[in-house]
Amino acid sequence: MTTDLLMSGQFWTFIILAVVTLISTYRMVSVPLITHAALFMALSFTAVAGIFLLLQAEFVAAIQVLVYAGAITTMVIFAIMLSGIGDIKAERKSKVKVWHSNPFVVVVGAVFAAFMLYLYSTANLPKEAAGQNMAKVADIGMSLFTTYVIPFEVASILLLIAMVGAIILTAKEAES
Amino acid sequence: MQLPIYYPLGLAALLFGLGLWGALTRTNAVRILMFVEIMLNGVNLNLVTFSRYYWQSSPEMAAKAPILTLFIMTVAAAEASVGLAIILAMVKNRGVIDVDKVNLLKG
């Protein structure tokens, strides 16, 4: 690690956002109340959106804030509220720490992360980032509506089916 | 000085590992869905990192970089909505949210 890297603001911004992401994700596991876990999930998503901005993917960062930090967090909190107060309070005792949980589970997560880190350390990866991102959001939209128009339409059908399925699963039976 | 590629890739791997640990540790169904979202988010971070470090400087190449990430987010949103609907139906019909207690099919 060069002092050049340690002096750059990009590095420290990344470190701060990564620490926020990892701590809030860890707290998602360890916090007893599930509503708090949902809020920590929103914090984790927002910090990852900051890292997307750092990687010059501003469109993905905006979608991340809209879809993940906005919509999915709201949906999860609604599901928690609708699924009954008793279940929310029942979790209060079940505080999970790394040293309390099943060792096999910890090993699975840790081995996966260590394996990926080992692969990255041996792979021949580019040392430097590519140049400035020349693409604008309009270019992304253009490729989405020309080259990738069929996957785009399939995704819209998937969202429609998901919406219909969610309504059918949760709606009350019609009075017969 | 640019950020080395290993930092965001390492963060993505750690995020996925934490999500895997949480999804396997916790038994609340809503919380398991939240950890699935975290794992998908780690995958997205991986994809965005590789697109940042590999794109050519032409706008055409860079414009194609976030497409797969967008589709992953779409599928994640669909999966979350249907999954939460299934959990709500489970709570309504059987009165449990703990996946360990949903054992109707157990022999």
Please give the C-alpha separations between residue A142 and each of A137, A139, A146, A158, B62, in angstroms, as whole numbers. 9, 5, 6, 21, 12
Q: What is the pLDDT of residues A90-107, one digit of tens each?
A: 555 555 566 666 777 778
Using CB atoms, which residue from A45, A72, A170 is nearest to B88? A170
Distance from C-alpha of A105 to C-alpha of A102, rounded to nearest angstrom: 5
- For B:59-78, CB contacts with A below 8 A are 59-60, 62-67, 69-71, 73-78
Percent of chain A whose pLDDT exceeds 70: 80
Q: How many helices (H) and strands (E) does chain B have?
A: 4, 0
Amino acid A30: pLDDT: 85
Distance CA B66, CA A15 (A): 23
What is the ipTM, given to two decimal places? 0.90
Q: What is the pLDDT, as a whole number, of residue A99?
A: 61
Q: Looking at residue B33, what is its pLDDT?
A: 92
Q: What angle do CA A137, A138, A143 make, to 5 degrees?
A: 100
A93 contacts B16 by C-beta, under 8 angstroms: no
Give the least confident one: A23-27, A82-86, A116-120, A153-157: A82-86
A142/B55 Cβ within 8 A: no
- pLDDT bin (cut points 50, 70, 90) of residue A122 is confident
Query: Which contacts qualify for B28-32: CB closer than 8 Å, 24 or more apart?
Result: B28/A34, B28/A87, B28/A91, B28/B97, B28/B98, B28/B99, B29/B87, B29/B90, B29/B97, B29/B98, B29/B99, B30/A34, B30/A76, B30/A79, B30/A80, B30/A83, B30/B84, B30/B87, B30/B97, B31/A28, B31/A34, B31/A37, B32/B99
Q: Which residue has the higher pLDDT, A66 or A9?
A: A66
C-alpha B42/C-alpha B19 separation (Å) is 9
pLDDT score of A97: 61
* A19-75: pLDDT as tens digits: 999 999 999 888 888 888 999 999 999 999 999 999 888 889 999 999 999 999 999
A158/B contact by beta carbon, under 8 A: yes
Residue A135's region, left for phi above 0, alpha for psi from -120 to 50, else beta, is beta
Task: Report which residue type is found at B66.
Answer: P
Give the pair of three-digit tokens for residue A61.
């960062």
> Is the pLDDT at A116 greater than 90, yes or no?
no
Q: Which of B1, B81, B47 is nearest to A161 (CA)?
A: B81
Task: Give the three-state DSSP class for A169.
Answer: helix
Arithmetic mean of pLDDT over chain A? 83
C-alpha gyration radius of chain A: 21
CB contacts, 8 Å: A133 with chain B: 52, 55, 62
Can you list the residues of chain B whose pLDDT is less than 50?
A: none
For chain B, say whether A33 makes contact (Cβ under 8 Å). Answer: no
Confidence of residue A149 (pLDDT cuts 50, 70, 90): very high
Diameter of chain A measured on Cα atoms: 74
Does residue A1 register a pLDDT over 80? no
Which chain A residues contact residue B9 at CB under 8 A? Answer: 116, 120, 125
DSSP for A15-50, please give it: HHHHHHHHHHHHHHHH-SSHHHHHHHHHHHHHHHHH
Rounded to the nearest angstrom, the minimum Cα separation between A176 and chain B is 19
pLDDT tens-digit readout, A159-173: 999 999 999 888 876
pTM for the full predicted model: 0.87
- CB-closest option in B5, B64, B66 to A126: B5
Q: Which residue has the higher pLDDT, A27 or A3?
A: A27
